[in-house]
Amino acid sequence: MAIVNASDQTFNTETNEGLVLADFWAPWCGPCKMIAPVLEEVDQEMEEVKVVKLDVDENQETAGKYGVMSIPTLLVFKDGQVVDQVVGFQPKEALVELLNKHK
């Protein structure tokens, strides 16, 4: 499944079904750039997980709704509900473990 770039208008629709890893990021954020290839790997290797990215500079309403203060912030959604959260760069192994807890 390809990574989805969401907006304030599409975020709820993109995260309301199944297991979703949502990445709150910005283009100027160094750690966000570091985690991008990790998210690509997770997306390719975990078919049951949908990866959604949200640029916080362009979509401040959604970032505010979820209390995102630092980036990258990764929220795990299961059927539309936040079930977990991590802040900062995470290695692939840590993200896989995090997601496997919520399968």
With b for 16 or more beta-carbon neighbours within 10 A and e for fewer, the 81-103 pattern comes to eeeeeeeeebeeeebbebbeeee
Q: Is 29 a catalytic residue?
A: yes
Q: Which of 26, 29, 36, 86 is catalytic?
A: 29
Q: Which of 4, 20, 32, 42 is catalytic?
A: 32
| β-strand partners of 52 | 4, 22
Q: Is 92 a catalytic residue?
A: no
Catalytic residues: 29, 32
